[in-house]
Amino acid sequence: MASVHTSAVPHISLFEKREELRRILESKYFSNSPKKTRFLEFVSEQAFLGNGDKLNEYLVGVEVYERGVDFNPQRDPIVRVQAHEIRRLLKKYYEEDGKGSPIHMDLPSGHYVPIFGRNPQQDAVPEALPTPAVAPEKRKSNRVLLAATLILGVLCVVLASLLVASNWANRRSAQSRVQPSALPDSLDWFWHPFLPPAEAPLITIPNHPLLRAAHDGDSPQTLARGHEIPKSSLPEFRDTIHFRELKRFLFVPSLTDFTSVGETLGLVNLCEMFSTVGQKCRVQQSRLVNLDEIKGDNAILLGGNQAWSGRVFLNVEGFHFQSGIILNRNPEAGEQAVYKPEFDSVTNQLTRDYAVVLMLPNETRERRVLLIYGIYTQGSQAAIEYLTNPEQMAELRKELLKRSPDHKTIPPNFQLLLTTTVENSVPGKSSLVALRIISK
């Protein structure tokens, strides 16, 4: 494999790393190898999340190759064999298709944490071009132009200052007329860590990977990566504009063109609630948020499909979100060991969804991390509506106090399992299925 520049390496952003991973997985060396693709995706995501120290042969065998909890790496060398083959394919990729890539990925022998570095061939600094001679007439003309530019610049600064002062005065006047109110006690006990004087929490919305319908506005490169499905096999689209306008049903992969409907509607609820107390709504898409930002901030993570939701807190007690179901590791009386979504036997429409809510300290324990995610997007929406409903949150507070050792102090860290009915893809009212106190 081409050598990676390791001395004085410039910062490589998470976006750059994800883009390089995407290029590798879309190459001819990996695009037709789902297990090798899953291997690289898994170890890369864990490294992006800061979980590199947890990566080992056993974890890869269980998570990627579904070997089960009794997997013994000494007897089954599947992970080592596949890692060797992946290193060979990476070497070929960078010798051929990826030769000019600005970022290089390496999977060091004997390790499972990928390393990203700058391509040294991209670091070469071009020689400075000679400065052309400037005629005296040209210099005089340049001085006149510079003087005129400076005068115009000063005028722009003055006008901008007047505009800013006017806007500031108007804003102060508006703020003096509208005073933020306080949340009712039934909500404040839960949301207090995220409210003023605390800074606005970082709210992340998921970037779900999906296949969307291609159209004439797509580039040739995008269309070339499409997957065609005959129109006749997709009757659900018959009454849509897509069916009438598109000659072919060509579907292309995307990470950026879609945000889950339920999480988006829930986000509106959150922002409306925050606005009543004068808190800002700071929103970012999950693929552009790194683990350091989560660790050092108040954060609210929406949607179970983003990397943070399912992997950041792997060892949380109680309910575990895994492969589209919710596992209950230690069922209490009346609880199930597994919670699955339910569907109508005739229409196959979703009729019941579940969601997990976790309130946890961040790494410094000075701030909070709140995770809200449903199995489907309807579960996420219903969970957010539950958490912003004063009556239901008053009931939750009572249930938590019952679990508290002194029955007076609300436990700071806990986990909820909620359920909601769904009709015509719209969630109903959530209800509490179970809760756990998390000792941290």
Is residue 413 within 8 Å of residue 338, measured between CB atoms? no
User: For the chain, how many structural domains are there in total?
Assistant: 3
- 265, 388: one domain: yes
- 353, 238: one domain: no
Determine, yes or no, domain membership for 328: yes
Residue 407's CB: how many other CB atoms inside 10 A?
A: 9
- 30, 62: one domain: yes
Determine, yes or no, domain membership for 155: no
81-120 burial string, b = 16+ CB within 10 Å, else e? ebbeebeebbeebbeeebeebebbbbbeeeebbbebbbbe
Determine, yes or no, domain membership for 161: no
Determine, yes or no, domain membership for 240: yes
- 267, 238: one domain: no
Is residue 435 within 8 Å of residue 417, measured between CB atoms? yes
pLDDT in single tens digits along all 440 residues of the chain: 444 443 444 578 888 888 899 899 999 999 888 889 999 988 998 888 888 888 999 999 988 888 888 889 888 999 999 999 999 999 999 999 888 888 999 999 888 999 999 887 654 433 333 333 444 444 444 444 444 444 444 444 444 444 444 554 555 544 444 456 789 999 999 999 999 999 999 998 887 778 888 888 888 888 888 899 888 888 777 777 777 778 888 888 877 766 678 888 889 989 999 999 999 998 888 777 777 777 778 889 888 655 554 444 544 568 887 778 888 888 999 999 999 999 988 888 899 999 999 998 877 677 888 989 888 889 999 999 999 999 999 999 999 999 998 989 999 989 999 999 999 889 999 999 999 998 76
- 337, 232: one domain: no
The dihedral built from the CA positions of residue 117, 18, 296 and 43, taken in this order, carries a sign that is negative
Which of 104, 122, 140 finishes a domain?
122
In whole angstroms, how large is the CA radius of gyration of the chain?
27
Phi first, then psi: give them for residue 305, nearest 5 degrees.
Answer: -90, -10
Residue range 343-376, pLDDT digits in tens: 988 888 899 999 999 998 877 677 888 989 888 8
CA trace torsion 287, 288, 290, 292 (10° rounding): -150
Determine, yes or no, domain membership for 420: yes
Name the pTM for this structure.
0.58
- 354, 265: one domain: yes
Determine, yes or no, domain membership for 99: yes
- 286, 246: one domain: no
- 281, 302: one domain: yes
Q: Is the peptide bond before 197 cis (omega within 30 degrees of 0)?
A: yes
- 29, 72: one domain: yes
CA trace torsion 393, 391, 305, 238 (10° rounding): 180
- State the residue range of the domain holding 39: 14-122
Determine, yes or no, domain membership for 6: no
- 316, 401: one domain: yes
Burial class from Cβ neighbours inside 10 Å (0-12, 13-18, 19+) for residue 139 reads exposed
- 354, 216: one domain: no
Determine, yes or no, domain membership for 151: no
- 222, 305: one domain: no
Which residues are paired to 319 by β-bridges?
A: 328
Task: Give the chain's end-to-end CA distance (angstroms, integer).
Answer: 44
